[in-house]
Amino acid sequence: MLVFRWALLLLLLGAGVCFAFYAATGQPRYRRLGLVTLKWTLIAAFGFFAVLVVERLRG
pLDDT tens digits, one per residue of 21-58: 999 999 999 999 999 999 999 999 999 999 999 999 99
Q: Crossing angle, helix 2-25 and helix 28-58, to 10 degrees?
A: 160
pLDDT tens profile 1-14: 889 889 999 999 99
Confidence of residue 59 (pLDDT cuts 50, 70, 90): confident
Total-model pTM: 0.83
Alpha-carbon distances of 53 from 16, 18, 39, 44, 47, rounded to whole Å? 28, 31, 21, 14, 10
The rounded distance, in Å, linking the Cα atoms of 27 and 33 is 11
